[in-house]
Amino acid sequence: MLKHRGFPGRLPGTDFQFTIRRANPKGATPLIRRERFADRRPADRRADAAFLAALWAQFGAEPFPRGNLDAGRLGWLFGREVLPVEDPFDPVSYDALLVIDTQVARIAFPEIFAETFSKGSA
C-alpha cells in the first residue's frame, strides 16, 4: 500500500480521519459512493471540503493511486468529485487510480477552487 507522504492524517482538531496507518491483511475496504443529503452536519461538510482541498493540493488534476486514503472519507466524494480512472475499476485495490473531476468539484466546493485560483493570480 502506497503511503501518501505529506497528506494530512485527519482534519485538525477532530476525529475525521483522512488516511489509514496500515493495509488491511484481508484487503482494502471497498470504495462505494455514499449519498450526501442536504441535512448533513456542518462538521461533516467541513471534513469533506478539507479532504477535497488536501487532495487538490497534493495531486491537482492528475490521476493518483488510492494508497492509504481512507475509504470512508473517499466514499463521500467518490462518484462525483473523485472518479475512477481505470475501466474496469477495482474498488478493493490500494493501487486503484482515481482523479478529481474539477468541473464537478468547482460546483460542489467553490470555496476551495476560488482560494486556489485567487492565490495563483496574485
Query: Tens digits of per-residue pLDDT, 63-87?
Result: 999 989 999 999 999 999 999 998 8
CB atoms near residue 49 (< 10 Å): 15
Q: Are 83 and 101 in contact (CB under 8 A)?
A: yes
pLDDT at 118: 47
Nearest to 49 by CA among 62, 36, 39: 36
The stretch 8-23 carries a mean pLDDT of 85
Residues 6+ apart with CB under 8 A from 21: 68
pLDDT at 122: 42
Residue 29 has pLDDT above 80, yes or no: yes
Nearest to 66 by CA among 11, 44, 48, 77: 77
